[in-house]
Structure 1
Amino acid sequence: MIAALADRALGLEPGRVRFTRREVRTPMPDGISLVGDLYRPAEATGPLPVVLIRLPYSRQAFGAIMAQPMARQGFQVLMQSTRGSFGSGGQFRPFRHERPDGLATLDWLREQPWCDGRIATTGASYFGHTQWMVAGQADVVAMGLHITASRMTDTFYPGGAPTLLNGLNWSASIGNQESDLPLLPHPLRTRRVQQALRRMPLQAADLDVAGAPVGFWRDFTGHGDPDDEFWEATYGERDRDVPPVSMVTGWWDLFVHAQLKDFQTLRESGVDARIVVGPWLHGAPAELREIVRTDVAFLDHHLRGGPAPEGARVRLHLQQADQWLEFDEWPPPATPHPLDLGALAGTESSTFTYDPADPTPAVGGPLLTKPAEQADQGPVEVRPDVLLFTGPALETDLDVVGPVTARLFVRPSVEYADVYVRVCDVDERGVSRNVVDGIRRLDPRSVPAKDVTVGPGGVCAVDLELFPTAYRFRAGHRIRVQVAGGAFPRFARNTGTGEPFGSATSGVRCRTEVLHSASHPSTVTLPVLA
């Protein structure tokens, strides 16, 4: 009865298949072994296809959420702990071993008498990364690449700015996970993270939140320079020999920007790919429910010859309209809707001063944990280091669906500076709530670049990719653009000195002039559906 209720909560018909679970160990070429749980239909007598899930988190917790519901639907599932986690040998060094370990696991699986040679993979977040590391290099039948990205640095350092809050939160989580109760909030750890975010230097902040060095945090703080090639080995193949792919993510998920780029690249390469984007935060129960529900139908088709998944390839939730949209591809056809900051301001330029000793805060957005998503921007918008450009009340609803971009002309007083842009929805009562945002870190070591051009008088033309969205601005509401020099602690403060963000101990103020004249038309462009 409990299992039936769990299946219904996940959007599945109650599974009728009894299964067995046993521990298996997979040897690696260097002599260590990886431990996993094999779920197999109890009545099975011969070899079957295998659904492989590789993760660094609790197999017990995620087994109940992902592996067991699939096993009750008749799938044979191997849930394996990655190197150095939950009983597997070796040291857990995030992102460094998943390609060789994943390929060795696939080779081993094909040699087992209970595997018929057909293997599919699935998983979310980090265990989406474990799949990208073997994509294009292993003969697998299908992949469920959920809330993840082929290039993790696109999420670690978007626009060159380190994602401080997400990075430290994840470091605290993985540094404590084998002694914590899984999937439960930790108020003490949250307080420690909040305190550690403001320390300088940041290199040893992992000691404050985890009580010991965390490999990922040391890599994250030590390899954030624009020319650092450390992360090159963590990039997944996304344009050759990738099998059919199913994706689920959310508009408030930190991976959605990179994931939609991956989806677009896969489709341009001819890969049979599908994606669902809902109104979800990373790991939200509704997001996990959609992952399991779509996985069952997707893998049933590719492993057992069941019916093909129904509906369009692209299914998007239109926020503030409570409806779903379907399209053949991403991005959908849309008309560019430019917001001219000069026309909104009525002047030719505006200035603000960013002080790393009192960094401009960020409220809401795509984060690993709450408070995230949409939030009242009032506390931010009253600050003198935030510029506001507000449009008139909309006469009709405006549906913005697709990538949002900006081009700003700025003249900072120091070479090292950040340009942060956020689009907000202001309701009839004047409450401003965030919709999408983006950041670009200016660094003379990476200029000239495709998205930063320095012109006469030190004016920089800066192109920003804001997060994509599907959002209805309702009639009577106004669209507002914020421009600032940072968004702390979501992004690490820019000290203005060029020192590595992990070892910097002090900073300098930066006065930034934003030009929005006819000769320097600073603009935010929204993709609007007909």
Structure 2
Amino acid sequence: MPDILHLTPAAEGDLSRPARVRTRDGVRLATDVYLPSGDTSPGDTILIRLPYDKNGEYTFIPLVAEYFMQHGYRVVAQDVRGKFRSEGDALLFVNEARDGEDTLDWIVQQPWSNGRVAMWGDSYYGYTQWAAAASGHPALRAIAPRVTGTGLGEPVRAHSGDRTRAVEWAITNLYPLTHFAANDTYLWDLDWSRRDFAAQAEAFIAGLDKRPLSYDQWVPHAVSLPRFPQGDPFAGRSVPVLHTIGWWDNCAPLSWADVAAIEQRPAWALHHHLRIEAIDHESYQLLEAPEDRVEDRTEAQIRALLPRTLDPALAFFEVFVRGNGSPADIPRVEWNLAGTEEMRVDEAWPPRAARAVELAAGVGGTLREDRAADATEVSWVHDPMDPVPSTAPDAFSYLLALPDEAPLGTRDDVLVFESAPVSEQVDFAGPVSARARVRSTGPVMDCFVRLLDVAPDGTAVRIARGQRQLRDATTAGALDIDLGQLGYRLAPGHRLRVHVASTDYPEYLPQPGTGADPWTDGVTTVTNTQFLEIGGPEGLALTLTVLDGALS
């Protein structure tokens, strides 16, 4: 068995008073109420609903609540259903809309509430905001979700007839075995040197009092349970949103999917404010001070982190909850040009002045704006027992490691394409995508594309990435690969590099080469040869969005 860190509820703090919120089906949710200076008169409230222990060290909610109270807010922090001190079954995602609505009902009935509520939080407790907003509760005046998405944690599902699909995260099936295995949290990791993932999961489950509901909902065949009252998180009443996305957040694709959905909903788009920062999922920054780039932050470091994390939300709530100022005072889009300390303001994303530029891969590993007329194929060997490794120990804190990705390019199973150094700084602002025509000797092929900034000393920082899977891969097919969004300054003398590979392990589940499910049937492996077309009309090409400067 692996080493397991069993986390039970931490001691409740002195700043809050405990309460129990009874839901419509009788489940009682453990709740802490923070009142500034013990003031029981009616005031504005910030609600935080999370599964990571409202009193635990990981999310430092008591410090967050203290900071909000200093600005006059009442704060309600709650363990979601089935977690830590709350009753009910630990079931991912599906109860959050109803439980959020019931909690809002409870808040507005309290003597310290004036009926106006906002919500704040990261990741899963960003998701609980989207869920509560989907209920349409009139007391919810604004939300500030960070590094999250309405499709958070959703497994990749097969659609009949589709040859392409997303590549599955390894965390998808592990998460319900750690944070949602039971009321308590069990932090453990798979032995990634083995391929019997499902067997390792079953060995862990055997030591629990009962099977985790969420794991059995997804393995071996994912079953969808409705998350939102109307089936669509944006089908109902809109709520003002301060939507924070991290350039290096591994969950950013989920955030950008929500941005795209909101753009199709005029009422939601009217109230949508986008903030993009050079952070990863755990709020490490690209330009972090060396002394702050540490895994275990001290209380002093956490307190120093709170203003840059919470002040944008407080400014947003001042307008949309308290009615002080005008919505025009809040930028529609505020974004960091990564590589600088600069925060820019625009009316839309991407900025209207940005333009699309295509770079095509060529023979000899070139990356240029002109595309070769003739197509040719290059190949590499995908050995499931020797996968291309993920570069950061923890995908959620990529910027804590900030790895040099250049060494991966020396592997035989990584194709490398590189531009000439730029003579002037180039600012990117907008989407990045790749199109590639690929095939394989195996039935299923995963294609990973990474975009790197290579410095004159040869070190390389990853600035964008994407991946896509081709089914029935013995017949060539085209992959449209979304590499996300980019706000980045490429300095003079630097160059762009592209890495193409078949694995990114253990962040993503590796194909065994047989076409079988990597989680349940990945023990038997077969080596495949992969082929990529370069040149010609369908050869590998990247489309980048350039705001200022020229690549050639």
Cα distance in 2, alignment partners of residues 424 and 163 from structure 1: 21
Q: Tell me the equivalent position of 1:11.
A: none
Q: What are the superposed Cα offsets for residues 289-328 of structure 1, whole Å, 9 maximum, x if unpaired? A: 4331122222222222223474522121112233222211
* 1:202 is the counterpart of 2:197: yes
1:263 maps to 2:259: yes
| Superposition deviation, residue 169 in structure 1 | 6.8
Q: Which has the higher helix share?
A: 1
User: What corresponds to 2:300 in structure 1?
Assistant: none
Contact 1:155 1:255 in 2 (8 A): no
2:25 is aligned to 30
Aligned to 1:230: 224
Deviations 1:69-119 (A, max 9, x none): 112211112111111122111121221321222222223333334333322
User: Which residue number in structure 1 is paired with residue 93 of structure 2?
Assistant: 95
Contact (CA 8 Å) 1:342, 1:349: kept in 2 or not? no
Count of residues in correspondence between the two structures: 486
SS of the equivalent of 2:396 reads: coil
Deviations 1:502-525 (A, max 9, x none): 211222222111111224332111
What is the aligned partner in structure 2 of residue 7 from structure 1? none
SS at match of 2:197: coil
CA distance in 1, matches of 2:529, 2:453: 27
Task: State the 1:197 CA deviation.
Answer: 2.6
In 1, Cα distance between equivalents of 2:96 and 2:498: 41
Q: Decide which of 489, 504, 523 is 1:487's aligned counterpart.
A: 504
CA contact (8 A) 1:252 1:373 kept: no
The worse-fitting range, judged by mean Cα deviation, of 460-469 and 43-52 is 43-52
The 3 A distance-change label for structure 1 pair 172 and 380 is farther
For 1:148, the equivalent position in structure 2 comes to 148
Q: 1:264 to 1:513 in 2, by over 3 A?
A: closer
The reply to whether residue 335 of structure 1 matches residue 363 of structure 2 is no
| Distance verdict in 2 for CA 1:232–1:513, change over 3 Å | farther
Whether the 8 Å contact between 1:134 and 1:236 is mirrored in structure 2 is: no
| Residue of structure 2 in register with 1:433 after alignment | 461
Structure 1 residues 342 and 441, CA gap change in structure 2 (3 angstroms): same
Rounded Cα–Cα distance in structure 1 between residues aligned with 2:400 and 2:234: 29
Query: How far does residue 125 in structure 1 lie from its aligned partner after superposition?
Result: 0.9
Name the % identity. 26
Distance 1:340 1:82 in 2: 48
Structure 1 residues 514 and 428 mapped into 2: Cα distance closer, same or farther (>3 Å)? same
The answer as to 2:533 corresponding to 1:515 is: yes
**What is the letter of the counterpart of residue 145 of structure 1?**
P
Q: Secondary structure at the match of 2:198?
A: coil
Correspondence 1:126-525 to 2 at 5 A: 126-138=124-136, 139=138, 140-153=140-153, 159-165=165-171, 168=174, 171-172=177-178, 178=184, 193=189, 196-206=191-201, 212=208, 215-219=213-217, 221-223=219-221, 228-230=222-224, 233=227, 237-238=233-234, 240-268=236-264, 269=266, 270-284=269-283, 289-308=307-326, 310=329, 312-333=331-352, 334-342=354-362, 345=365, 348-364=376-392, 367-370=395-398, 374-444=402-472, 458-504=475-521, 505-525=523-543
After superposing the two structures, state which structure 1 stretch, 508-517 or 199-208, moved more: 199-208
Q: 1:120 aligned to 2:139?
A: no
CA distance in structure 2 between the aligned counterparts of 1:322 and 1:84, rounded to whole angstroms: 41
Q: CA deviation at 1:277?
A: 1.7
State the Cα deviation string for residues 192-240 of structure 1 (Å, max 9, x = none).
62x52333221244467896465555555535xxxx5526536761354
**Secondary structure of 1:99's match?**
helix
1:172 and 1:206 in contact (8 A); partners too: no
Q: TM-score, normalised by structure 1?
A: 0.83
- State the alpha-carbon separation in 1 of the partners of residues 165 and 282 from structure 2: 24
5+ long unaligned stretches in structure 2: 1-13, 158-163, 286-304, 367-374
Asked whether the 8 Å contact 2:47–2:119 carries over to 1, the reply is yes
DSSP-derived class of the 1:258 partner: helix
Shift of 1:371: 7.1
CA–CA distance in structure 1, aligned partners of residues 510 and 127 of structure 2: 28
Q: What TM-score, normalized to structure 2?
A: 0.80
